[in-house]
Structure 1
Amino acid sequence: MSRIDDQLLSRLPLADINRVTFYKRDELTADLICCDVIIAEATWSFHEEVAGWDLLLNHLQKLPQFRLDWYEAVSQPPFAVSKIVAFCR
């Protein structure tokens, strides 16, 4: 996936999202923040270096009881395994 845009977000309707999980991958010199969005049996995977990442975050934050503290929870400590479910239906 090269970019996140409105067309892609239309394929991720909020009412259909079952789970949103953020995690990080150790990329040797830096951590890469990633996100999996689960709809039915499909998993959509994204990471912070994809153009439009901010559009995805704005979209997901509209989910009821979405954990707005997900970034702080997943980013610390650096280079340690970290995973957080920010939304679960």
Structure 2
Amino acid sequence: MQQISDKKLQRNQQPLRVSSYDDLKLFLKEQIGLTQTQQMELWTKYMPKIGYHNSNIVWNLFVENDCKSFAELRTVLRNFVSKNN
């Protein structure tokens, strides 16, 4: 029973770094229930500007800003893109 609780705790802890876009999608789906529509928005609207190989930047922004929804992440990404482009 304790092992199951430990595994759930580990799963709920946010990783320090993602290594791919697939990781990012998985973590966002687990954390905020990322939908296919939201994933496509992220891929087509924000990843080209941030860089397709920079999924870790998106994850770090998500964690640092304590996002609780895709709407919150979207706001953070808009601000990040406007400051960096």
When the two structures are superposed, what TM-score results if normalisation uses the length of structure 2? 0.29
Which structure shows the bigger proportion of residues in strand conformation? 1
Q: Which has the higher contact order (CA 8 A, sep 6+)?
A: 1
Rg: which structure is higher? 2
So what's the TM-score if we normalise by structure 1? Answer: 0.28
